[in-house]
Structure 1
Amino acid sequence: MNYVAAENLTKSYGIKTLFKNISFNINEGDKIAIVAKNGSGKSTLLKILMGKEIADSGDVVINKDIQVVLFDQEIDFESDLTIEEFMMTLDSAPILALKKYHHALLSGDPDEMETALAEMEIHKAWDLENEMSQILSQLKITDLTAKMGMLSGGQIKRVALAKLLTETRAEHRHTLLIMDEPTNHLDVEMVEWLESYLNKAKITLLLVTHDRYFLDAVCGIIWEMEDQNLYFHNGSYATYLENKMIREDNMNSTIDKAQNLYRKELEWMRRQPKARTTKSKSRQDDFYETEKIAKTDTRKESLELDFEMKRLGNKILELKDISKSYGDKLLLKDFSYSFQRGEKVGIVGKNGAGKSTLLNIIQGFEPKDSGEIETGETIKFGYFSQKGLKYKEEERVIDFIKDISENFPLANGRTISASQFLRLFLFDDQTQYSPISKLSGGEKRRLHLMYILYQNPNFLIFDEPTNDLDLPTLTVLENFLLNFQGSLIIVSHDRYFMDRIVDHILAFEGEGKIKDFIGNFSEYRENKKLEDGNKKSEDVSKKQEVGVEKTEVSKKTEALPASNSALPTKKKLSFKEQRELETIEKEIPEFEAKRTTILEQLNNETDYEKIAKLSAELESLSEKLENHEMRWLELQE
């Protein structure tokens, strides 16, 4: 089934043409990723498909039997709405049926309830609320009474994602899901869950992402937007790179031939009299076409990485027993680490675990509660934060960089100009002389990165550098960092980026605990999964052993010889301890029965507030049960 057919689409902004005469089809079941550098028109193309932008020319035909749903980087919401109210603003039939059902529950009107129940059956809405709850839970959204206006940017993004996924499940018709950078602000567990969800869901997907592992896991088709054209690749990200290289090699061969012809034709053109014949006019037209090909510049300047960096001394950066808390929340506890010359360290952990706090403490932006920091005298930090770039509205890109220096120093006394350095990071001449205010969000992010690197630091600190950066820029950045001779700290959820750059992980695991792991990010993840699996097995074994011991311990005690001198003398329980043991033995089965009841209620419950209440009760009860079992063992021993 064909979902979308587009023919000869063209879109320009002023003198800048984003794409010209591109055509494509989207069919049912396609899962497509769009790859392009920022400013090439990815987001604009998505908005044209949504009807939010109009192409300058060309046609788009969308099948009337499908719905098109967009997950955008810009999210509209009313600040006063709670998360639950925001989720229920969907206007799909199953959601409307749910609303009527809840209203009927509150009103108690039997006629209204009868109508509501009928609509719930018609629109198959019974499972929707439970599925919505599961999606919210996976995205770590627990307090549904929180106001949208009080959430962080990352939380808003996750709530919007939950709403979109619910919408695609609520509609029982064909859906084209369009997603623009869905993995931004998601931690690794959430990204892996989303990969699994999109693979299982029977949807058609058009995706813009910089996460190459996510791209490979979800998509089988890649669209490449470059030089106003659209190229199609079937297969993985690696296949796309191979195809792109072959195409560029072929283009270079064509250009070489055109340049040879161009030189000959140029001589002929110069010899021609002003009044040309019809035959010479035809040859003249061919000449201009040949000239266009001959002057095509496909050269990809490679960064000369033998740059002159300020010398690093013997002492780089040493942290000794650093602790930091916010109220009752412990982020760092007696953390010590000595950074070495040329070391590339990745910092990972859940949102809010304290990663950014550590970066701020290192640079003196936040005070530590205790501990010492020793920084080498020659250290020059370069900090790429999640905060936006500060600039004057009409300031041009080239002037912004030149304010630091006209030239960037290389080894052996050589330099490259500010303009050359900008070109290395994919800013063409036209963009360099444009006002910064006219850049796309991704281009501003790229300029911010340039601003940091151009100051020639010898200790780089990157906090989520890959968010909103396009894949071509990420490739350039990775090549830069692989050859960077200074020290490097990266906080990132981008698994591919981390695997390629770092070989040492500091993992924030909560409660101030930081694990020091030698290896890349994927190796750390595999190690953690193995440890978690072993711990889970140990916990299950302990609980099984407790159950066996409770039933067998009295028999074993009676069977022991009274005068066995090889066994330690068992201390007799005090009257108080004996009463405590009797109480615990009575309460343990009661707790277990209550726990089973709560689990059954949770499996059947669909009300958000009740689910939250039952979950809290289950957590409290499980803790009591575990404490009772441990105390029972102590008293038995």
Structure 2
Amino acid sequence: LDEPTNHLDLPAIEALEERLAAARAAVVLISHDRRFLETLTTRTVWIDRGRTRALDRGFKNFEAWRDKILEEEETAAHKLDRKILDEEHWVRYGVTARRKRNVRRMRELGELRKAARERKRPVGKVAFSVNEAAGSGKRVILAEGVSISFGGRAVVRGFSTEIARGDRIGVVGPNGAGKTTLLKLLTGELAPDDGRVSLGAGLQMITLDQRRASLRDDDRVADAITDGRGDWVTIGAEKRHVASYLKDFLFKPEQWRTPVSALSGGERGRLALAAALAKPSNLLVLDEPTNDLDLETLDLLEELVADYQGTLLIVSHDRDFLNKTVTSILTPDPSGREGQWTEYAGGYDDMLAQRGAAPAMAADARGPAPALRKEQTEAQPARAKLSFKEKFALEQLPLRMDALTQEIAALKSALADPALFGRDAGGFAAKAKFLETAEVALAAAEEEWLALEMKREALKAE
């Protein structure tokens, strides 16, 4: 199966997962969907710089293994006193730094989700205080009793919400549920049949659609960034050459003159993202942004979204991406009532914990789904809280991570001494071994902390 989840909705992806998990046949998958790979794979093959590397474990273990290999290569290069000068150094070895920064970002996202839970009213009872509404510049979108129908079918009915500055809203649901329609209503692109949508003052909105329609094959890569107006772009208060700006999106320096038609699917995705973020905005609308992106580009997209200071509206079927980026989820109501949408604080897994089932087609929701929700509700008390051991680990792991980080820095500083090996070969070897052990321990501690923190957030949302 070559990218089987591209353009599938969430119910279809989860049905495919169940079918493949039950199959007795051998399965070979190419995919960028992390959750899909983690659920199904028992062995991983990594194609890296023209060679294949095999891991006799599933994708769940791949990224830590890959990062360890890249860190070992970088350490070996320093031991030989070689400085890697080409641009590939940043592209490849930046992966591990991004992963470590993502641990910090997950902490920050947890705080944002906590704030969202405290601010949002109970599900289905949208009511906003006068004081909140009066907060100048804080309200981005206010929808009041919004409805729209097509061909006699209600796509959105009586929907109300308030989106504040800095919110990150994910929209999920099956194909045909009206996700893009809801997005267009909220951004003012479509007028509702009933109700009212008010947009905040001073909004500068940029949209990245799933078809990447803004890219023209005949243009140079640079033209997509500057709209054909020279080779310089202003980002914030800084004027930068387009080649320098494109480097931030993993492009090589010489590619800025390349025609768009020569780019791969992943490169086109990065270029569309770079073009969108080059324009000033405080509201970013992403419609299926992860389609056709490779894992490296997905890492970059997660980092860029996490650092974005404005408000985000994201339609996506990528569960892992939603877990790492959004503060709340909009999805069709679990009752299956036509046109009804419900908002849940947190990411995708938080939404599942609160509603008891994944978004499905309306017919499914009216059928066996209630029994499934009852089963899951009955099973939930067994995992209603963290164990004492888990709570203790959450308190102690950050301290251990800090200590390991300091130890690693000290060891790297010692190994950077070019005279150490000649002076004390045994000491050099011992420090190198200690460094390897400390780096493995740090990666394990980060992964354990991240898993526990996400579990804590999911339990808190129930």
Q: TM-score, normalised by structure 2?
A: 0.63
Partner Cα distance (1:213, 1:482) in 2: 19
| Contact kept? 1:255, 1:294, Cα under 8 Å | no
Partner of 1:380: 204
How many Å apart are 1:189 and its aligned residue? 2.0
Equivalence map 1:376-415=2 (5 Å): 376-403=200-227, 406-410=232-236, 413-415=237-239
Question: Per the alignment, in what secondary structure is the counterpart of residue 316 of structure 1?
Answer: strand
How many Å apart are 1:435 and its aligned residue? 1.1
| Contact kept? 1:345, 1:505, Cα under 8 Å | yes
Partner of 1:422: 246
Partner Cα distance (1:465, 1:359) in 2: 14
| Deviation string, structure 1 residues 396-433 (Cα, Å, up to 9, x no partner) | 212321337723424xx445442223222222224333
Partner of 2:189: 365
How many Å apart are 1:352 and its aligned residue? 1.1
Are 2:362 and 1:536 equivalent residues in the alignment? no
Are 2:2 and 1:187 equivalent residues in the alignment? no
| Deviation string, structure 1 residues 356-413 (Cα, Å, up to 9, x no partner) | 0111223333232122221122111111112233444332212321337723424xx4
Equivalence map 1:208-607=2 (5 Å): 208-259=30-81, 297-300=88-91, 313-403=137-227, 406-410=232-236, 413-509=237-333, 510-529=337-356, 535-536=370-371
Question: Per the alignment, in what secondary structure is the counterpart of residue 271 of structure 2?
Answer: helix
How many Å apart are 1:244 and its aligned residue? 1.9
How many Å apart are 1:184 and its aligned residue? 1.7
| Contact kept? 2:35, 2:320, Cα under 8 Å | yes
Partner Cα distance (1:376, 1:427) in 2: 36
How many Å apart are 1:231 and its aligned residue? 2.4
| Contact kept? 1:393, 1:436, Cα under 8 Å | yes
Partner of 1:611: none
Unaligned residue ranges in structure 1 (runs of 5+):
1-178, 263-292, 306-311, 541-637
| Deviation string, structure 1 residues 249-283 (Cα, Å, up to 9, x no partner) | 222223224445x9xxxxxxxxxxxxxxxxxxxxx
Higher mean alpha-carbon deviation, 511-520 vs 225-234, is at 225-234
| Deviation string, structure 1 residues 566-603 (Cα, Å, up to 9, x no partner) | xxxxxxxxxxxxxxxxxxxxxxxxxxxxxxxxxxxxxx
| Contact kept? 1:319, 1:336, Cα under 8 Å | yes
| Contact kept? 2:205, 2:285, Cα under 8 Å | yes
Question: Per the alignment, in what secondary structure is the counterpart of residue 29 of structure 2?
Answer: strand
| Contact kept? 1:408, 1:421, Cα under 8 Å | no
Greater relative contact order, per chain length (Cα 8 Å cut-off, separation 6+): 2
| Deviation string, structure 1 residues 514-563 (Cα, Å, up to 9, x no partner) | 112122211212333369788438999xxxxxxxxxxxxxxxxxxxxxxx
| Contact kept? 2:142, 2:199, Cα under 8 Å | yes
| Deviation string, structure 1 residues 447-500 (Cα, Å, up to 9, x no partner) | 222211121321111111111111111111111111222111111111111111
Partner letter of residue 52 of structure 2? L
Cα root mean square deviation, aligned = 3.0
| Contact kept? 1:322, 1:371, Cα under 8 Å | yes
Partner Cα distance (1:490, 1:217) in 2: 24
Question: Per the alignment, in what secondary structure is the counterpart of residue 191 of structure 1?
Answer: helix
Partner letter of residue 208 of structure 2? F
Partner Cα distance (1:481, 1:473) in 2: 12
| Contact kept? 1:325, 1:369, Cα under 8 Å | yes
Q: Percent same amino acid at aligned positions? A: 30
Question: Per the alignment, in what secondary structure is the counterpart of residue 181 of structure 1?
Answer: coil
Are 2:28 and 1:206 equivalent residues in the alignment? yes
Partner Cα distance (2:43, 2:280) in 1: 39
| Deviation string, structure 1 residues 48-76 (Cα, Å, up to 9, x no partner) | xxxxxxxxxxxxxxxxxxxxxxxxxxxxx
Partner Cα distance (1:249, 1:537) in 2: 45
Partner Cα distance (1:193, 1:415) in 2: 49
The alignment covers a number of residue pairs equal to 323
| Contact kept? 1:349, 1:507, Cα under 8 Å | yes
Partner letter of residue 522 of structure 1? D
Higher mean alpha-carbon deviation, 523-532 vs 395-404, is at 523-532
Partner Cα distance (2:153, 2:70) in 1: 54
| Contact kept? 2:224, 2:271, Cα under 8 Å | no
Question: Per the alignment, in what secondary structure is the counterpart of residue 204 of structure 1?
Answer: coil
Higher mean alpha-carbon deviation, 350-359 vs 392-401, is at 392-401
How many Å apart are 1:506 and its aligned residue? 1.2
Partner Cα distance (2:374, 2:226) in 1: 61
Partner Cα distance (1:385, 1:182) in 2: 21
Partner letter of residue 233 of structure 1? L
Partner Cα distance (2:87, 2:211) in 1: 38
Partner Cα distance (2:246, 2:212) in 1: 19
Partner Cα distance (1:490, 1:325) in 2: 22
| Contact kept? 1:248, 1:298, Cα under 8 Å | no
Q: CA separation of 1:434/1:323 partners in 2, compared to 1, >3 Å: closer, same or farther?
A: same
Partner letter of residue 372 of structure 1? R
How many Å apart are 1:211 and its aligned residue? 0.8
Partner Cα distance (1:430, 1:537) in 2: 55
Partner letter of residue 234 of structure 1? D
Partner letter of residue 536 of structure 1? A
Partner Cα distance (2:159, 2:312) in 1: 18
How many Å apart are 1:443 and its aligned residue? 2.2
Question: Per the alignment, in what secondary structure is the counterpart of residue 205 of structure 1?
Answer: coil
| Deviation string, structure 1 residues 336-366 (Cα, Å, up to 9, x no partner) | 1111111111111221111101112233332
| Deviation string, structure 1 residues 265-312 (Cα, Å, up to 9, x no partner) | xxxxxxxxxxxxxxxxxxxxxxxxxxxx7768523467999xxxxxx9
Partner Cα distance (1:538, 1:355) in 2: 24
Question: Per the alignment, in what secondary structure is the counterpart of residue 180 of structure 1?
Answer: coil
Partner Cα distance (1:433, 1:325) in 2: 46
| Contact kept? 1:258, 1:294, Cα under 8 Å | no
| Contact kept? 1:187, 1:351, Cα under 8 Å | yes
Partner Cα distance (1:493, 1:362) in 2: 19
| Deviation string, structure 1 residues 603-633 (Cα, Å, up to 9, x no partner) | xxxxxxxxxxxxxxxxxxxxxxxxxxxxxxx
| Contact kept? 1:180, 1:208, Cα under 8 Å | yes
Q: CA separation of 1:514/1:428 partners in 2, compared to 1, >3 Å: closer, same or farther?
A: same
Question: Per the alignment, in what secondary structure is the counterpart of residue 203 of structure 1?
Answer: coil
Partner letter of residue 407 of structure 1? V
How many Å apart are 1:329 and its aligned residue? 0.4
